[in-house]
């Protein structure tokens, strides 16, 4: 007998957040997932996070320009890669697509941007877009 | 919408450039770099250079032109020092912000029409640093009260939640007395910059809703900047040369 | 000597003035010499007769004898003319 699938009215509504991740060390997908969960659990606690329905869908490493990707036009503007004033200005740059439940986008956004370090390494996550499907999120915000 | 960031910590030339480019990428349009009085005189000399160089880099961008202004942040210990310092620097710069953290200083700033911004009144205090009396004075003299996003970003656990409680208190007073409230990033490196919508998402859960938040990063800063540009022509509040 | 620095202490009668902003839209644009001043109103002599303008809701442009134009918010003029000189204003 053919199994009945869940009717559309009962399915969970999803939204896809496009994240822009800066990190001091090279991140793997699993590390980013743990960082995201850590951030959400820290700000909203276990009961609230249970409703978030978090799932990391896609993970992109924006490899080539990890030293000067703050330049919008991908021009090389900072030829000397010396650290300025003892601060290291270089970072690794990633983008990711995160699935979450509809209606909780703002809470997730907030808790991700409140994350300043993970495993004693600096990390900065900011959300650059929200969309309803994976395809459109990639088309609009990653390419 | 134009997003104003009135508090970015100034540093060396390259550091400033990097910070502004990163902030511009995340959606900010106007940057106010704050310096201590000693380093301000050195910094003001390269202001035009910095603006030209940044505009060269982002020339292909479709968004509005960026604004750039340098200001002074002073740290007075008591009220007498506050009056001296504001008198001394008012004519030299277009933007004066005073670091709070002492009830006497907070009071002095709110009553002083020469100051633009009271920065972080809750600093090192058990309470939020302002009350109904200071709020009324701030409305009268148009002194903005600044909440610094970096304060909650760089702290953690109990300390963070206490600061968030202070924010709630100040926002509550803001809703009642309608004094100008501004929210800034207070970033000193690229790790501390977030996009305006991200900060809005956090303040939504501190009871500051979207239209009120838009005021704090757009309308109030705009008014402060316009007023400061007019300040030279004004003799007293309400009298202006044309 | 009336200058822009002391105009708000000074006698206003005789100055040419223009109403540029008011809560009452019909007052905007009235111009002429000031011929009288009371605690809450200013009388302006126009071609169509004397008009009485309330101070606290209007903004005026005044032409000083040395050729300067000054914009004044009527709210700071609300006082009897002889008492205005005693009032203290905060410096910007």
The CATH number for B132's domain is 3.20.20.140
B130 occurs within a structural domain: yes
Q: Is residue B42 part of a domain?
A: yes
Lowest mean pLDDT among A53-67, A102-116, B208-222: A53-67
Q: Is the pLDDT of residue B87 over 50?
A: yes
User: What's the confidence (pLDDT) of residue C83?
Assistant: 87
Flag whether residue B120 sits within 8 Å of chain A, measured between CB atoms: no
Lookup result for tokens 């550091």: B15
Q: Do chains C and B touch (3 or more CB pairs under 8 A)?
A: yes
Residue B241 lies in a domain: no
Task: Compute CA distances B114 → B87, B120, C13, whole Å.
Answer: 8, 18, 32
Q: Which chain A residues are within 8 Å of B55, Cβ to Cβ?
A: none
- Asked whether C61 and C71 are in contact (CB, 8 A), the reply is yes
Interface membership of B14 toward A (CB under 8 Å): yes
pLDDT of residue A78: 43
**Are the C-beta atoms of C70 and C60 separated by less than 8 Å?**
no
Domains of chain C: 16-81 (2.30.30.210)
Across the interface, of C61, C68, C73, the residue whose CB is closest to B238 is C73
Q: Cβ(B155)–Cβ(B183) under 8 Å?
A: no
Please give the pLDDT value at position A89. 56
Write down the pTM of the prediction.
0.84
Q: What is the pLDDT of residues A1-57, one digit of tens each?
A: 888 888 989 988 899 999 888 888 888 888 889 999 998 898 888 998 898 888 888
- CATH code for A12-65+91-142? 3.30.70.3250
Average pLDDT rounded to a whole number, residues A110-124: 87
CB contact under 8 A, A116 and B26: no
- Residue among A102, A141, A120, A143 nearest A20 (CA): A141
Given CB atoms, is B140 within the 8 Å cutoff of chain C?
no
- C50 vs B91, higher pLDDT: C50
Per-residue pLDDT, B63: 64
> Is residue B215, in this structure, part of any structural domain at all?
yes
Tell me if chain A has a CB within 8 Å of the CB of B191.
Answer: yes
Helix/strand/coil percentages in chain C, nearest 5: 10, 40, 50
Q: In terms of CA atoms, which chain C residue is nearest residue B114?
A: C92
Give the pLDDT band (50/70/90) at residue B124.
confident
Residue C22 — φ and ψ, nearest 5°?
-160, 155
Sequence ranges of the domains in chain A: 12-65+91-142
Counting Cα atoms < 13 Å in the Cβ hemisphere of A24 gives: 13
Q: What percent of chain A has pLDDT over 70?
A: 81
**For the residues A102-108, what does the mean pLDDT come to?**
88
- Tell me whether 0.85 is exceeded by the ipTM: no
Strand partners, A92: A23
> What number of other Cβ atoms are within 10 A of residue A62's Cβ?
14
| Cβ–Cβ contact A95 with B under 8 A | no
| Chain A partners (3+ C-beta pairs within 8 A) | B
Q: What is the pLDDT of residues B196-222, one digit of tens each?
A: 888 888 888 888 888 888 888 888 988
- The verdict on residue B235 lying in a domain is no
Q: Which chains touch B (3 or more CB pairs under 8 A)?
A: A, C
Q: Which pair of structure tokens corresponds to residue A37?
A: 């969960």
The predicted model gives B56-85 an average pLDDT of: 81
| pLDDT value of residue B205 | 86
Please tell me if residue B161 touches chain A, with a CB cutoff of 8 Å. no
Mean pLDDT of the region B123-152: 87
- Is the separation of the CB atoms in B53 and B20 below 8 Å? no
- Chain A environment of B25 (Cβ under 8 Å): 70, 72
Return the pLDDT at A12: 87
Calculate the alpha carbon distances from B106 to B55, B173, B192 in Å.
Answer: 38, 15, 26
Question: For B102-112, what is each residue's pLDDT tens digit?
Answer: 888 888 888 88
Number of domains, chain B: 1
DSSP string, B185-217: --BSSGGG---HHHHHHHHHTTT--HHHHHIII
Q: Which helix (H) or strand (E) holds A30?
A: helix A29-49
The SS3 call for residue A114 is coil
User: Hey, which of B101-110, B124-133, C16-25 has the most confident mean pLDDT?
Assistant: C16-25
Residue B73 lies in a domain: yes
Q: What span, in angstroms and rounded, lies between the C-alpha atoms of B27 and B66?
A: 11
Q: Judge whether B102 and B118 are in contact, CB under 8 Å.
A: no
Question: Which token pair is B191?
Answer: 């790790």
CA distance A114 to B168: 17
Residue A61 has a pLDDT of 81
pLDDT of residue A85: 39
pLDDT-based confidence at residue A63 (cuts at 50, 70, 90)? low
Q: Tell me, what's the pLDDT at B60? A: 64
> Which residues of chain B make contact with A75, given a CB cutoff of 8 A?
57
C88 touches B: beta carbon within 8 Å:
no
Residue B76 within any structural domain of the chain: yes
Q: Which domain holds residue B15?
A: 4-230
Residue B33 pairs in a beta bridge with B8, B70
Is B153 an interface residue toward A (CB < 8 Å)?
yes
Q: From the CA of B202, how many Å to the nearest CA of chain A?
A: 5
């Amino acid at each position: 007998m053919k199994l009945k699938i869940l009717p559309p009215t009962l399915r969970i509504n999803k939204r896809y957040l496009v994240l822009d991740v800066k990190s001091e060390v090279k991140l793997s997908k699993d590390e980013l997932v743990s960082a995201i969960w850590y951030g959400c659990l820290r700000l909203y606690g276990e009961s609230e996070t249970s409703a978030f329905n978090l799932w990391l869908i896609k993970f992109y490493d924006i490899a080539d320009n990890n030293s000067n990707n703050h330049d919008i036009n991908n021009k090389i503007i900072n030829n000397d890669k010396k650290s300025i004033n003892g601060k290291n200005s270089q970072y690794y740059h990633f983008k990711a697509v995160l699935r979450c439940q509809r209606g909780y986008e703002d809470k997730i956004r907030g808790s991700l941007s409140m994350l300043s370090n993970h495993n004693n390494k600096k990390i900065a996550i900011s959300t650059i877009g929200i969309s309803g499907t994976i395809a459109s999120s990639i088309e609009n915000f990653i390419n | 919408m134009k997003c104003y960031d009135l508090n970015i910590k100034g540093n060396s030339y390259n550091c400033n450039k990097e910070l502004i480019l990163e902030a511009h990428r995340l959606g900010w349009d106007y940057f106010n770099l704050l310096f201590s009085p000693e380093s301000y005189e050195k910094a003001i000399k390269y202001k035009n250079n910095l603006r030209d160089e940044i505009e060269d880099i982002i020339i292909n961008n479709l968004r509005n032109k960026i604004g750039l202004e340098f200001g002074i942040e002073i740290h007075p210990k008591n009220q007498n020092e506050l009056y001296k310092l504001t008198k001394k620097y008012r004519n030299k710069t277009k933007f004066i912000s005073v670091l709070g953290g002492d009830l006497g200083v907070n009071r002095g700033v709110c009553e002083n029409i020469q100051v633009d911004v009271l920065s972080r009144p809750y600093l090192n205090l058990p309470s939020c640093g302002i009350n109904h009396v200071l709020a009324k004075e701030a409305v009268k003299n148009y002194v903005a009260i600044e909440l610094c996003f970096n304060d909650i970003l760089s702290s953690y656990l109990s300390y963070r939640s206490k600061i968030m409680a202070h924010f709630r208190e100040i926002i509550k007073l803001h809703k009642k007395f309608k004094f100008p409230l501004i929210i800034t990033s207070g970033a000193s490196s690229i790790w501390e910059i977030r996009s305006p919508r991200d900060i809005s998402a956090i303040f939504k859960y501190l009871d500051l809703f979207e239209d009120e938040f838009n005021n704090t990063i757009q309308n109030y800063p705009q008014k402060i900047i316009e007023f400061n540009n007019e300040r030279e022509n004004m003799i007293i509040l309400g009298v202006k040369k044309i | 000597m009336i200058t822009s620095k002391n105009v708000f202490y000074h006698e206003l009668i005789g100055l040419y003035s223009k109403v540029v902003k008011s809560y009452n839209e019909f007052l905007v644009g009235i111009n002429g010499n000031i011929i009288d001043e009371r605690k809450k109103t200013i009388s302006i002599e126009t071609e169509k007769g004397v008009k009485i303008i309330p101070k606290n809701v209007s903004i005026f442009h005044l032409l000083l004898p040395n050729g300067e134009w000054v914009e004044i918010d009527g709210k700071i003029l609300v006082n009897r003319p002889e008492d205005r000189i005693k009032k203290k204003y905060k410096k910007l």
